[in-house]
């Protein structure tokens, strides 16, 4: 509990009280299990954690930034102004949302002219953004604010014997090697064995899908999934919901166009954490709303429990 | 970390090259293959900026998968050289260096012969299928380059020439 | 080398984008082959998702089946996003109009189509 106290103290000193989790587009529609698992683990770790309300699309950087940078800043700042009004620390787990918020905030604080432009637009809807906000990635919250020690001490059901591959996504690599490191260490804390492959770094191809669907599906995600199939791993751990969208799409396309079916379940890393913390897969609905069933994974988990 | 510090976004006046009369752009785009994830966002951003399309092959820089090492990506982008081969090879003298040091192709003089493409060591100039002339990177007219803005993994860096040289030396382990 | 077979879902996305466009550029360029083709600010392929963005505020709808899945996972049936808070969506629409985005993209708000 000492850790939890220190968190609230530091949060108070910044003038913010709680974390507001930004859902984004894909998570509420396609990954309800991840949403539930994230809320569960954050509550378990004693964080003052809630879903942020009135959220809109983060304004995808891949499309909007190319179309017009000023529009991208304007539309993103609506979410930022909302977060500022709600008095929260904005937490993203989707890398696309994170980079959108992080970079907009950085640009607006560095360039007063842009902030003025944004506020001129925002005034038409009766909003104002002053830049008094903190944007964090969910990994940063877990690693820096909670700490690896506390996560390790909460693991009651280590997932040893599970071989996984992981994909963190491009945007998490943009501002330093910090986030990929956090991701690996938190995953290792759950006891899973991470398999390294040459394609770990490769993009999921979501950003490329509009432009070149063949490369995007077959050369980017296809190689990842076929490697997973070859190595016969238990799960593919991801964090970015944008990447999940592309994984799901690619699996469908592979089935339709080439008749190849992949059976490696794609799981959100918070699900692995929730299981390691002692929750059952049914607690967060692991088996629902999935194009690739997780039955094999759940069975392996059950047989492991049975052996004990 | 390059992206964390406040970077110079626009081209200023060109810098002289010691021992010559030539001048080059003060900034240069450098690619780090260790960071590139092959998302091709740079190409898409470039294509949109210049042609209003998301078709990546309209882009003026290129990212390919490294055939020798799968899972890594190599990039070819214009360096706006001191002695540009394209400029030297052009039979119509359509290629010139402007006041910021950017190597440009004049669309009025170019006949689309493709000599510049052959002469460039990394084949940057390409044929514009619609106008039937050669086109190449114009450093987004000396403003904040779109490819650098769009890069999703921080693999493209916008650096002053001297720092870029050190950076590449470090990358290659020289 | 033969052309690779187009991916069905991608073609569907492109057609949805074309369907949301009033003036078809590709048809006009067939009629006037020597005219330099005009490219609208929003490429056809992105139009379908941009339209959804303008209509819902987010890229994906939350329909009855998704609501059911959410309930099974132990969540509230509707997420606390613009799906529930229509006010935020209204604000976004005003913002889109005031900042001149819909005009420049040629989006007709009433009909829900892109002009060009």
- From the list B4, B44, B154, the residue facing A173 with the nearest CB is B154
- Taking the CA of residue A170 and the nearest CA in chain B, the distance in Å comes to 5
Domain ranges of chain C: 8-110
Domain residue limits at A263? 156-307
Q: Is the domain of A171 the same as that of A265?
A: yes
Is pLDDT of B145 > 70?
yes
Confidence class for position B2, pLDDT limits 50, 70, 90: very low
Residues B128 and B47 in one domain: no
Question: Quick one: A46 and A181 in the same domain?
Answer: no
Model ipTM?
Answer: 0.89
Average pLDDT over residues B135-141: 94
Q: Which helix (H) or strand (E) holds B43?
A: helix B41-51
CB atoms within 10 A of CB C26: 10
> How close is the nearest chain C Cα to the Cα of B47, in Å?
11
pLDDT of residue A188 exceeding 70? yes
First-to-final CA distance of chain A: 30
Dist CA A108 CA A45 (whole Å): 33
Indicate if the pLDDT at residue A16 is higher than 60.
Answer: no
**pTM of the predicted model as reported, rounded to 2 decimal places:** 0.91
* A31 and A95 in a common domain: yes
How many structural domains is chain A composed of?
2
Exposed e or buried b for every residue in A2-14, given b needs 16+ CB within 10 A? Answer: eeeeebeeebeee
Residue of C nearest to A282 (CA): C73
Alpha-carbon gap, residue A141 to B41, rounded angstroms: 28
pLDDT-derived band at A9, boundaries 50, 70, 90 = very low
In this prediction, residue A308 carries a pLDDT of 67
pLDDT for A52 equals: 92
d(CA B10, CA B139): 10
A10 occurs within a structural domain = yes
- Decide which of A140, A171, A198 is a domain's last residue: A140
Taking all residues of chain A, what is their mean pLDDT, rounded to a whole number?
89
Confidence of residue B94 (pLDDT cuts 50, 70, 90): very high
Does residue A15 surpass a pLDDT of 80? no
Q: Are residues A229 and A103 in the same domain?
A: no
Mean pLDDT value across residues A78-82: 93
* A291 and A176 co-located in one domain: yes
Q: What is the pLDDT of residue B5?
A: 55
Residue B174: pLDDT band by 50, 70, 90 thresholds? confident
The backbone torsions φ and ψ at residue C114, rounded to the nearest 5 degrees and listed phi first, read: -85, 130
Q: Is B108 at the interface with chain A, CB within 8 A?
A: no
pLDDT tens digits for range A259-289: 999 999 999 999 999 999 999 999 999 989 8
CATH number of the domain bearing residue A237: 3.40.50.11810
Domain that holds residue B50: 33-77+144-169
Tokens of C40: 């609208």
Residues A160 and A136 reside in one and the same domain? no
Cβ atoms of A58 and A301 within 8 Å: the answer is no
A128-161 pLDDT tens trace: 999 889 999 999 999 999 999 999 999 999 999 9
Q: Provide the pLDDT for residue A3.
A: 46
Within an 8 Å CB–CB cutoff, is residue B53 touching chain C? Answer: yes
Instruction: Please identify, among A140, A166, A186, the residue that sits at the C-terminal boundary of a domain.
Output: A140
pLDDT per residue over B32-71, tens digit each? 999 999 999 999 999 999 999 999 999 999 999 999 988 8
pLDDT cut 90: percent of chain A above it: 79
Which H or E element spans position A110? helix A95-110
Q: In chain A, pLDDT over 70 holds for what percent of residues? A: 94
Min Cα–Cα distance to chain B from C105, Å: 12
Cβ A242 vs Cβ A169: under 8 Å: yes
CB C74 to CB A289 under 8 A? no
Q: Is residue B67 part of a domain?
A: yes
Do residues A212 and A164 both lie within one domain?
yes
| Percent of chain B clearing pLDDT 70 (strictly above) | 97
Distance (Å, whole) CA A275 – CA A106 = 36
A178 domain-assigned: yes
Q: Is residue B9 part of a domain?
A: no
- Which residues of A are less than 8 Å from B4 in CB distance? 175-176
CB pairs under 8 A between B and C: 14
d(CA B2, CA A291): 41
Q: How far is CA B72 from CA A54, B64, B172, in A?
A: 40, 9, 15
| A58: Cα separation from own chain's centroid | 13
Write out chain C's pLDDT in tens, 116 residues: 567 788 899 999 999 999 999 888 777 778 887 877 788 888 889 899 889 888 888 999 999 999 999 999 999 999 999 999 999 999 999 999 988 889 888 898 888 899 88
CATH number of A94's domain: 1.20.1050.140
Which residues between 74 and 133 in chain B have a beta carbon less than 8 angstroms from any beta carbon of chain C? 130-131
B150 falls within a domain: yes
Q: Which among C10, C82, C94 has CB closest to A55?
A: C82
Q: How far apart are CA B27 and CA B100, in angstroms?
A: 10
Return the axis-axis angle of helices A241-253 and A95-110, rounded to nearest 10°. Answer: 140
- Whether B54 and chain A come into contact, CB under 8 Å, resolves to yes
Interval A206-250: pLDDT, tens: 989 999 999 999 989 999 999 999 999 999 999 999 999 999 999
Please identify, among A83, A116, A140, the residue that sits at the C-terminal boundary of a domain. A140
**A150 domain residue, yes or no:** no
Count CB-CB contacts under 10 A for residue C25: 15
Weakest-pLDDT range from A34-43, B102-111, B153-162, C29-38: C29-38
**Does A32 share its domain with A86?**
yes
**How close is the nearest chain B Cα to the Cα of C39, in Å?**
6
* pLDDT for A246: 93
A235, A264 contact by CB (below 8 A): yes
């Amino acid at each position: 509990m000492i850790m939890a106290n220190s968190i609230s103290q530091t949060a108070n000193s910044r003038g913010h009280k709680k974390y507001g989790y930004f859902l984004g587009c894909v998570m509420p529609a396609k990954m309800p299990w991840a949403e539930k698992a994230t809320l569960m683990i954050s509550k378990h770790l004693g964080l003052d954690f809630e879903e942020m309300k009135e959220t809109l699309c983060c304004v995808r950087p891949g499309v909007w930034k190319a179309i017009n940078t000023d529009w991208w800043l304007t539309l993103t700042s609506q979410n930022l102004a909302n977060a500022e009004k709600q008095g929260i620390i904005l937490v993203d787990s989707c890398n696309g949302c994170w980079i959108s918020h992080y970079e907009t905030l950085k640009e607006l604080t560095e360039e007063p002219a842009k902030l003025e432009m944004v506020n001129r637009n925002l005034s038409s809807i009766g909003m104002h953004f002053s830049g008094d906000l903190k944007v964090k990635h969910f990994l940063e919250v877990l690693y820096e604010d909670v700490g690896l020690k506390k996560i390790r001490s909460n693991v009651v059901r280590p997932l040893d014997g599970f071989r996984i591959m992981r994909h963190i996504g491009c945007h998490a690599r943009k501002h330093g090697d910090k986030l990929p490191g956090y991701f690996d260490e938190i995953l290792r804390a759950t006891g899973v064995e991470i398999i390294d492959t040459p394609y770990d770094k490769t993009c999921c191809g979501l950003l490329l899908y509009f432009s070149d669907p063949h490369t995007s599906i077959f050369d980017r995600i296809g190689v990842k999934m076929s490697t997973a199939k070859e190595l016969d791993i238990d799960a593919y751990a991801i964090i970015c919901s944008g990447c999940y969208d592309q994984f799901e799409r690619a699996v469908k396309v592979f089935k339709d166009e080439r008749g190849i079916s992949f059976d490696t379940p794609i799981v959100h890393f918070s699900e692995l954490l929730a299981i390691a913390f002692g929750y059952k897969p049914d607690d967060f609905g692991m088996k629902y709303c999935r194009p690739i069933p997780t039955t094999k994974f759940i069975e392996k988990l059950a047989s492991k429990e049975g052996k004990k | 970390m390059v992206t964390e510090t406040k970077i110079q976004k626009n081209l200023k006046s060109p810098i002289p090259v010691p021992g010559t009369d030539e001048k080059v752009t003060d900034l240069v785009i450098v690619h780090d293959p260790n960071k590139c994830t092959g998302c091709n966002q740079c190409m898409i951003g470039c294509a949109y900026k210049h042609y209003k399309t998301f078709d990546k092959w309209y882009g003026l820089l290129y990212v390919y998968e490294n055939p020798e090492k799968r899972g890594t990506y190599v990039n070819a982008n214009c360096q706006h050289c001191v002695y540009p081969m394209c400029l030297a090879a052009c039979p119509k003298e359509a290629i010139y260096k402007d006041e910021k040091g950017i190597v440009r192709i004049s669309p009025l003089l170019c006949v689309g012969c493709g000599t510049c493409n052959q002469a460039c060591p990394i084949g940057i100039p390409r044929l514009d299928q619609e106008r039937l002339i050669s086109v190449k990177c114009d450093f987004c007219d000396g403003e904040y380059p779109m490819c650098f803005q769009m890069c999703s993994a921080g693999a493209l860096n916008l650096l002053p020439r001297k720092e870029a040289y050190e950076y590449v030396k470090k990358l290659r382990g020289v | 080398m033969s052309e690779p077979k187009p991916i069905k879902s991608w073609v569907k996305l492109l057609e949805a984008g074309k369907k949301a466009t009033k003036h078809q550029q590709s048809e006009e360029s067939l009629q006037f082959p020597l005219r330099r083709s005009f490219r609208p600010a929003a490429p056809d392929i992105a139009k379908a998702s941009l339209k959804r963005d303008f209509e819902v505020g987010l890229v994906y709808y939350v329909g009855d089946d998704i609501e059911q899945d959410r309930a099974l996972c132990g969540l509230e049936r509707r997420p606390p996003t613009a799906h529930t808070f229509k006010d935020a969506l209204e604000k976004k629409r005003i913002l889109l109009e005031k900042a001149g985005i819909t005009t420049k993209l040629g989006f007709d708000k009433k009909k829900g189509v892109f002009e060009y």
